[in-house]
Amino acid sequence: MTNTSNAKVGDSAITTSANTGKNSRNKRSVERKLAELKRRLLEISDLGAAGAVLSWDQATYMPKNGAGARARQNATLSKLVHEKSVDPALGKLLDELEPHASSLPGDSDEASLIRVARRDFEKANKVPIDYVARAREFGSVSYDAWTRARPANDFTSMRPFLEKAVDLGREYAEFFAPYKHVADPLIDDADEGMTTASMGALFAELRKELVPIVSAISNQPAIDDHCLRGTFSEPSQLDFGLSVVKQFGYDLERGRLDKTLHPFCTKSSAGDVRITTRVDESRIGEALFSTLHEAGHALYEQGVSSKFEGTPLGTGASAGVHESQSRLWENIVGRGRAFWQHFYPVLQHIFPDQLHGVTLETFYRAINKVERSLIRTDADEVTYNLHIMMRFDLELGLLEGHLQVKDLPEAWHERMQADFGLVPTDDRDGCLQDVHWYMGAIGGGFQSYTIGNILSAQFYAAAIKARPGIPSETATGEFCTLHDWLRTHVYQYGRKFKPTELVERATGGEMNLGPYLCYLRAKYGEFYRLPNV
Amino acid sequence: MTNTSNAKVGDSAITTSANTGKNSRNKRSVERKLAELKRRLLEISDLGAAGAVLSWDQATYMPKNGAGARARQNATLSKLVHEKSVDPALGKLLDELEPHASSLPGDSDEASLIRVARRDFEKANKVPIDYVARAREFGSVSYDAWTRARPANDFTSMRPFLEKAVDLGREYAEFFAPYKHVADPLIDDADEGMTTASMGALFAELRKELVPIVSAISNQPAIDDHCLRGTFSEPSQLDFGLSVVKQFGYDLERGRLDKTLHPFCTKSSAGDVRITTRVDESRIGEALFSTLHEAGHALYEQGVSSKFEGTPLGTGASAGVHESQSRLWENIVGRGRAFWQHFYPVLQHIFPDQLHGVTLETFYRAINKVERSLIRTDADEVTYNLHIMMRFDLELGLLEGHLQVKDLPEAWHERMQADFGLVPTDDRDGCLQDVHWYMGAIGGGFQSYTIGNILSAQFYAAAIKARPGIPSETATGEFCTLHDWLRTHVYQYGRKFKPTELVERATGGEMNLGPYLCYLRAKYGEFYRLPNV
């Protein structure tokens, strides 16, 4: 109601005026509270951003001996973030804003902000502050130890860290008791709405489809991928990767690429979303695909609407949805034939001697070679999910307590034998290979990759359906239409919608295996004989 | 008193036991309070360290569009540091620890910690928190604007920033009213114990000596320094600088060197003290000497005793004492003949074509050429302090209000004309050249350089007196003895002693111009005719 509508006389006018006064006082009060809510959330976001910069620094440029103090500094920041996240004054504000939120359409920005802020507040309130500081400091120290232990193949030195990580995972779960499964609270943190049971069912369904495919492919002659080996200079590899992701739409005025041990993407603001990669000069592929992968995450974060900056809505919807974007750009786009129709000549120009006489088709097959292998991050699209399932199951074993950390290397070997017919010769390529278990509490860290694979195909299928020109655009090295569709239907919303709702809105249906299996069968059926469905 | 001394019987034993009980309760209470004090100070230090990393990042690798949010993040951290620095519980702890501090020798670590923590607490308590956040955010935004305005020679766009910086300087001073001079509180922040009046007297005394020297030199033929011009590749310049500072004793496991616009040294922990430099490929010198300069700061910070880590004692004694170390390593060592006896052949080896036929003596004179010039950071040792005096005076004019920001370019020109007989053709090389006025409140930022020059010679003279072998060691490219003396007599103490006390202890006397003038006369008397004293 505006003041101009207030032109009556007599009692009714007085009443209206009084109501208007009351309404506008209410409105002002709500506005004040919303502003105060946003101020508090911004402070939390700023401290989180500072932590992100400190972690990026630790993983890129920090001198070796900075690790001890950095662990403590990160812990101090986490503790403060937590203190501010559980401040009763924040809870009171959220309570007071509840009637306002209820009066709004459920999909309005403000209602979503209040809903998500409440979810975060309630979750944070279950976790004691001392746990947060301990877990963060431990994560930093453990990561630092892992960076030395993995190259040294030294699982023994990591055992106490991993035992502690299991304890921390269990301790965390207890804060959310009662639960159906000890891993549920950890999974829900990463992928809202998913549980150990629902993931188990999804994995079982996927496994039933994948195992015969992998098995059929393994009985066929291996694809020759020796063209990917040679000497590929680091700067050229980095430059090529950067030129590709720039073409994807990654904005370098709001980002940068650096080298690290275990690639990641990090955001400290909408204007600062960085990616990292690692380079092996003896192989073309690792640096490139990890750059494309992280750029997928970065495109998502750079695409979140700036109106959500500094609020809990200003980031991706969940770990799984995030992973769908890294996998979409890395695999569906970056390992696709259309992509290489444009970029292979460019790559040949950069590495003329190394790729001399190697045809596009040879190269395309090489980068898509399906092979039972030891290292998850190097795995092809078909076997990748088997790596995830294995880690997910071992993690459950550790959390449930029927697998002891001391027995992990052996359990790893057994499962590798069973699923891949392979056994790593050392722990470096075995249970030391993933950073996830060595950076804090374990649990809930792996299912997102498979959710991501599934959703990547589902989002891509929806995009193609809406904009059929995408593949031919890709073949000319242009990605505007795809990027634009993803920004419009996924990225811009940040955490505004629950993952399930976001998927529904963008693809018109629930998460389902259909598009992913279709994609795998179509792509790999071109150069492998696959079992009939 | 220990329990084993408590073996008597009867009343006296009971009394003793009761006293012992009371004493040990007191002791435990003091220990608890000290632990709580250190915990609080550590948290403040950690947040300060996070701010240091964010600032380093902003000045080195941050993407362009990160600036806005980074300003806000820095402000949030500063605000928190301030909140925690003025926490009444901290004041109460300090009060309660006062009797304990009084019972200790004044030069004990604990007494010093309590004294310095109290000084910081009392100072911080005078400054309102909103000022801190405003000033920090403004500083970040202003710095960002300056990085664009200086290359564009755009003083007009910086005018409102500078006006605000003057206002902030005055506003800050008011928190410490009454004062003798508006700049006093700002100077005292950087150089405890110094005032506008004492600096004015020091500058006047120095000026009386320097002006005739500069004037005599200006009437002599200019030294030919064209050997410093050419093409000197960036990586080679950086490598050479790094190899020298490593030789000085700068520990690269606790530090690193990066490029930036305005070189600085920053510490986030004893294990992480970084330096930055800038490179001009058309000149040999700028990158090297700025690297040596920042390494001097870094040697100081790396040398502070690790027992002070995370407390207010864990950093240099004052800005002036800090500057003494950057100037000592940059100038007294790095522009000295002994240094180049060892390093000139190395430099010739790196740049054989560029330095072909250039003798050591020619090179040595070129890097020490005295010349009235426009840019402070490029100025020689003799004219350098005239640059400082000019900035100090203009700053006083701005703070006092008899100089308006709009008139600054003209005032700059007039003073340059008077002191140097030169006028810059643009503001880029005029009043836009120094970052100091464009990174927050102005005032108190320049006197430290001259204090540093004076003290550098005074510390060096004391070191030579104690260890006469230093110059001949320098001539072999070794610096252990000098580094060791400085670490023992200056660095290790951090902020434990007041600057005046530290100087007294290390050199046996008060700060005085004697050694500095001696040094200048001896060095420059070798290749210029100087006026008689």
Q: Residues B89-106: pLDDT tens digits?
A: 999 999 999 999 999 998
* Cα(B496)–Cα(B119) distance, integer angstroms: 12
Take residue A454 and report the two structure tokens written for it.
């599934």
Count how many pairs of residues, chain A against chain B, have C-beta atoms within 8 Å.
125
Q: Give the amino acid at A118.
A: R
Which one, of A159, A197, A192, A168, lies nearest residue A180 by Cα? A197
A62 in reach of chain B (CB within 8 A) = yes
- Residue A179's SS3 state is coil
* Cα(B431)–Cα(B410) distance, integer angstroms: 9
A61 in reach of chain B (CB within 8 A) = yes
Of A69, A252, A309, the CB nearest to B49: A69
Q: What is the pLDDT of residues B415-451, one digit of tens each?
A: 999 999 999 999 999 999 999 999 999 999 999 999 9
Radius of gyration for chain A, computed over Cα atoms and rounded to the nearest angstrom: 25
Q: So what's the pLDDT on residue A466?
A: 98
**DSSP character at residue B406:** G
H or E stretch at B275? strand B272-277
Which residues of B fall within a CB distance of 8 Å from A42?
72, 76
Q: So what's the pLDDT on residue B15?
A: 52
Q: What is the pLDDT of residues B267-290, one digit of tens each?
A: 999 999 999 999 999 999 999 999
CB contact under 8 A, B254 and A73: no
CB contact under 8 A, A76 and B43: yes
- Residue A518's SS3 state is helix
Take residue A255 and report the two structure tokens written for it.
């980002």
The shortest C-alpha distance from B177 to chain A (Å) reads 32
pTM of this structure: 0.91
In terms of CA atoms, which chain B residue is nearest residue A306? B69
Which residues of A fall within a CB distance of 8 Å from B253?
63-65
Q: So what's the pLDDT on residue B4?
A: 35
Give Cβ neighbours of residue A488 (< 8 Å, ≥ 6 apart): none
Task: Show which of residues 349-368 on chain B sit within 8 Å of chain A, judged by CB atoms.
Answer: none
* Cα(B262)–Cα(B253) distance, integer angstroms: 24
Q: So what's the pLDDT on residue B369?
A: 96
Residue B6 has pLDDT above 50, yes or no: no
A38: exposed, middle or buried (Cβ count in 10 Å: 0-12, 13-18, 19+): middle
A375 in reach of chain B (CB within 8 A) = no
CA torsion A176-A180-A184-A188 (nearest 10°) is -80
Q: Which of B269, B304, B311, B315 to mutate to test the interface with A (most CBs of A within 10 A)?
A: B269
* Cα(B394)–Cα(A170) distance, integer angstroms: 64
CB contact under 8 A, B272 and A62: yes
Q: What is the pLDDT of residues B184-214, one digit of tens each?
A: 999 999 999 999 999 999 999 999 999 999 9
Please give the sequence-ordered ranges of beta strands (E in DSSP) within B65-179, or none if there are none.
Answer: none
Residue A7 has pLDDT above 60, yes or no: no
Task: Give CA separation, A130 vs A125, A133, A137, A168, in Å.
Answer: 12, 5, 11, 12
The alpha carbon of A469 is separated from its chain's Cα centroid by a whole number of angstroms, namely 28
Handedness of CA A19, A25, A27, A33 (dihedral sign): negative
CB contact under 8 A, B77 and A46: yes
Cβ proximity of B202 and B187 under 8 Å = no
Residue A422 has pLDDT above 50, yes or no: yes
CB contact under 8 A, B61 and A258: yes
CB contact under 8 A, B274 and A63: yes
Cβ proximity of A387 and A210 under 8 Å = no
**DSSP character at residue A219:** T
Q: So what's the pLDDT on residue B483?
A: 98
Neighbours of A177 (CB within 10 A): 9
In terms of CA atoms, which chain B residue is nearest residue A49? B73
CB contact under 8 A, A72 and B46: yes
Give Cβ neighbours of residue A56 (< 8 Å, ≥ 6 apart): A266, A268, A274, A276
A461 in reach of chain B (CB within 8 A) = no
As a whole number, mean pLDDT of residues A29-49 equals 97
Take residue B427 and report the two structure tokens written for it.
């503001």
Q: Give the amino acid at B515.
A: P
CB contact under 8 A, A53 and B57: yes
Q: Give the amino acid at B200.
A: G
Cβ proximity of B502 and B366 under 8 Å = no
Neighbours of A195 (CB within 10 A): 18
Which residues of A fall within a CB distance of 8 Å from B49?
69, 73
Helices (H), B150-253: 155-174, 184-190, 196-218, 234-248
Q: What is the pLDDT of residues B472-516, one digit of tens each?
A: 999 999 999 999 999 999 999 999 999 999 999 999 999 999 999
A18 in reach of chain B (CB within 8 A) = no
As a whole number, mean pLDDT of residues A307-332 equals 98
Which residues of B fall within a CB distance of 8 Å from A54?
50, 53
Which residues of A fall within a CB distance of 8 Å from B53?
53-54, 57, 73
Please give the span between the terminal C-alpha atoms of chain A, in angstroms, as a whole number.
62
DSSP string, B464-532: HHH-TTHHHHHTTT--HHHHHHHHHHTGGGTTSS-HHHHHHHHHSS---SHHHHHHHHHHHHTTSPPPP
Q: What is the pLDDT of residues B378-413, one digit of tens each?
A: 899 999 999 999 999 999 999 999 999 999 999 999
Residue B17 has pLDDT above 90, yes or no: no
Is B83 one of the catalytic residues?
no
Q: What is the pLDDT of residues A52-80, one digit of tens each?
A: 999 999 999 999 999 999 999 999 999 99
Which residues of A fall within a CB distance of 8 Å from B63?
252-256, 271-272, 274
Q: So what's the pLDDT on residue A19?
A: 66
Strand-pair partners of B274: B266
Q: So what's the pLDDT on residue B393?
A: 97
Pairing of strands A257-259, A272-277: parallel
Which residues of A fall within a CB distance of 8 Å from B310?
69
- Residue B243's SS3 state is helix
As a whole number, mean pLDDT of residues B109-125 equals 97
Strand-pair partners of A491: none
As a whole number, mean pLDDT of residues A511-517 equals 97
Q: So what's the pLDDT on residue A193?
A: 94
Q: What is the mean pLDDT of chain B?
A: 94
Strand-pair partners of A257: A275
B473 in reach of chain A (CB within 8 A) = no
Of A51, A61, A271, the CB nearest to B65: A271
Of A64, A73, A255, the CB nearest to B253: A64
In terms of CA atoms, which chain B residue is nearest residue A272? B66
Model confidence at B7, pLDDT cuts 50, 70, 90, reads very low
Interface pTM, i.e. ipTM: 0.90
Q: So what's the pLDDT on residue B8?
A: 36
The shortest C-alpha distance from B400 to chain A (Å) reads 36
Cβ proximity of A184 and A444 under 8 Å = no
CB contact under 8 A, B61 and A63: no
Q: Which residue has the tokens 């979810």?
A: A119
Which one, of B70, B492, B61, B449, lies nearest residue B256 by Cα? B61
- Residue A275's SS3 state is strand
Residue A8 has pLDDT above 80, yes or no: no
CB contact under 8 A, B269 and A63: no
Task: Give CA separation, B263 vs B58, B292, B385, B455, in Å.
Answer: 13, 11, 19, 22
Please give the span between the terminal C-alpha atoms of chain B, in angstroms, as a whole number.
63
Q: Which of these is catalytic: A294, A323, A381, A395?
A: A294
H or E stretch at A483? helix A480-489
In terms of CA atoms, which chain B residue is nearest residue A275? B63
Q: What is the pLDDT of residues B141-190, one digit of tens each?
A: 998 899 999 999 999 999 999 999 999 999 999 999 999 999 999 999 99
SS (H, E, C) A37-75: HHHHHHHHHHHHHHHHHHHHHHHHCCCHHHHHHHHHHHH
Model confidence at A6, pLDDT cuts 50, 70, 90, reads very low
A87 in reach of chain B (CB within 8 A) = no
In terms of CA atoms, which chain A residue is nearest residue B75? A46
CA torsion B100-B102-B104-B110 (nearest 10°) is 70
